[in-house]
Structure 1
Amino acid sequence: MSKPRHLLILPRLRVQNANAISSPLTWGFPAMSAFVGFMHALERKLPDDLYLQLEQIGVVCHSHEILSSSAGYNLQQFHLTRNPVNKDGDTAAIAEEGRMHMDISLVFAVSGDNCRADKGRTAHIAEGIDDIVHGMRIAGGSVIPRNDTKRHPQLVSMPDDADEYEAMFRKHRSRLLPGFALVLNEQALTDRLDALQTTAPGASRLDAWLDFARLHHQCVIDADDGAHRWEVRSTPGWHVPIPIGYGTLSTHEPGEVANARDATTPFRFVESLYSIGQWVSPHRLDRPESLLWYVDNDLEHGVYRLNNDYRDHKHS
């Protein structure tokens, strides 16, 4: 993706009861598709005097609280709502919902005529969009008023010069501290697969992906006295399995699938696509492209996914 010319920064959004279940196999933080969906919903809500084209989005998490409690040995269970009983007086069946509170900052790559307004006008636009956001939901959670009145939204124009461009981003990324940004690191999956195949040649990419979802206890022998101890295997980086979109399983013409919501639109059954994300402190990001996520669909092959260029801009 080309480098963004303008950034909209919405700092310290407090979100209550967001969806903590990101896919059939992952939980702990909303999927990036929830934030991209929010970006599209926000763009549709903007009036003409505040309108910006929202093209990419980055998320920095400052704090979070999963609404769960211990359910025994190394297990957690979500705090679920108590629904009305059915006609027999029994507890009605429910779909499990995982909820969380989080404190996040959002960074958008934006474009449009309003981006080139004067400083006072861009400040008004940023504040107006921030007011709209506080009446919306993010990943199913409610955005509540800030308790920090010193942090204000900003609409920033990035300079053309490469050095000034990076200097401008370094200036604004400090407003995102302390916190961690979720980026994509698919190379970590390839590296883990190569490591697994050195001892298990039959290991698959799924085995490598699941390897990131577990704590590995290993026996370590002290070289001096031969003493044994068990410790959790530690590797560089904070890597997590994440969903990144959907892949097509089958395609159907309009009206072929019974009870479809829209009988005039082609229908596709899909399954989740997964990769590896990494939580990175914003001070380690030199360019906004490393932070931002964007839609990267391959319609010919039925792939609907999100992408991020962290690896392309990561310094060795």
Structure 2
Amino acid sequence: MSTRRILVLPHLKVHNANALSSPFTIGFPAMTAWLGFVHALERKLKASGYSTLELCSTGVISHQCDLQTYRGPGDFVHSIIGTANPLDKDGKRSAFIEEARCHLDASLLIECRASEDDLEQIEQPEFLEQVEQLLNIMKVAGGDLQHVNPPRFVALDDSDNRGVRKLLLNLMPGFALIERRELMQNAMEQGADALDALLEYLTVHHRSEQDEEGNVSWHSQRKTAEDGNKPGWIVPIATGFQGISPLGQAKNQRDPDTPHRFAESVVTLGEFRMLHRIGMLDDLLWQYHIDMPNNLYLCQQVQPETNDDGFH
């Protein structure tokens, strides 16, 4: 029986996070943004003396997401609420570049690994105080952290389902973001295009019925899964990048020592699932995964290896 150490960052209040998660999706920040934040925190902690510390996987729980959009009376679509940029030298408005933003209340569960010496140190109150100090100077998904609750450590055994349930129930109400790429896989195995398979599960079909007295009632329905069950709160999520050019050097690249390549976003299906429906800790944890033969740089769930189809 092994013990897993989970760093809990409860109810992070993020202001003006980047909601443009990919070139064609808007809403909750991309999973790459959350794992990127955790990776930045790991680097800062290593620079502070915890050289063997690894923040190896992360669970993201959404408590509230306030997307900054507006739809006026009679409008069919929502518009992005833009920022008031300063006037240019001629006193005119500068060119407007749409920046989708959202305000968030989210919690993170971060699995930590380290050598025995570092493990003894990170379980001390001084380590949690240092984490809290670092959080106050960091950004999350491009947004500002307005409020940070004190972080805490939880030690869980692999077979301690009661401990997992207690941890998650303490963060209720909340929705864990999990991956549902198998929905796209099943549709693509039947010949559907990747984009069509994604839209098929997101489309809401409305139909009307008229009774004998002439009263009209409307019904809404979304696609059911192959087993006949209705999926939960299904959303498109950006989970990484796919290289579209060979590795090489580019003029004026940011890091001259690291090979450069152009890439495009990888988008698949995800689900926001209520925490009381999470059975195991690995059901909500994400980690980095590199698939060099297919030029994929992904964030995926901690689970057995599966086919990497099901992305667009």
Give distance in 2, aligned partners of 1:7 and 1:238: 26
Structure 1 letter corresponding to 2:245: S
Q: Pick from 248, 251, 271 the counterpart of residue 278 of structure 1.
A: 271
Q: TM-score, normalised by structure 2?
A: 0.83
Change (3 A) 1:253 1:51: closer
Partner of 2:261, secondary structure, is strand
> How far apart are 1:277 and its partner, in Å?
0.4
Give distance in 2, aligned partners of 1:275 and 1:104: 21
- 8 Å Cα contact 1:15/1:141 also seen in 2: yes
Which residue of structure 2 aligns with residue 57 of structure 1? 58
Which residue of structure 2 aligns with residue 204 of structure 1? 193
Gaps of 5+ in 1: none
Change (3 A) 1:115 1:189: farther
Which residue of structure 2 aligns with residue 158 of structure 1? 156
Instruction: Please give the residue correspondences for 1:254-273 in structure 2 after superposition, counting only pairs within 5 Å.
Output: 254=249, 257-273=250-266
> How far apart are 1:4 and its partner, in Å?
7.4
Deviations 1:135-194 (A, max 9, x none): 211111111235xxxx7422122225x2xx222211211111001011101122234557
Which residue of structure 2 aligns with residue 231 of structure 1? 219
Q: Pick from 167, 182, 185 the counterpart of residue 187 of structure 1.
A: 182
> How far apart are 1:88 and its partner, in Å?
4.2
Q: TM-score, normalised by structure 1?
A: 0.82
Residue 238 (structure 2) pairs with residue 240 (structure 1): no
> How far apart are 1:76 and its partner, in Å?
1.3
Which residue of structure 2 aligns with residue 132 of structure 1? 134
| 213-222 vs 301-310, which moves further | 213-222
- Give the percent of matched residue pairs that are identical in Structure 1 and Structure 2: 35
Residue-pair matches, total: 293
Change (3 A) 1:236 1:213: closer
> How far apart are 1:110 and its partner, in Å?
0.6
- 8 Å Cα contact 2:14/2:147 also seen in 1: no
Gaps of 5+ in 2: 223-229, 306-312
Give distance in 2, aligned partners of 1:116 and 1:266: 34
Change (3 A) 1:311 1:103: farther
Residue 144 (structure 2) pairs with residue 142 (structure 1): yes
Residue 298 (structure 2) pairs with residue 305 (structure 1): yes
Deviations 1:60-90 (A, max 9, x none): 1111212221155331112211223334443
- 8 Å Cα contact 1:183/1:310 also seen in 2: no
- 8 Å Cα contact 2:3/2:155 also seen in 1: no
Change (3 A) 1:208 1:138: same
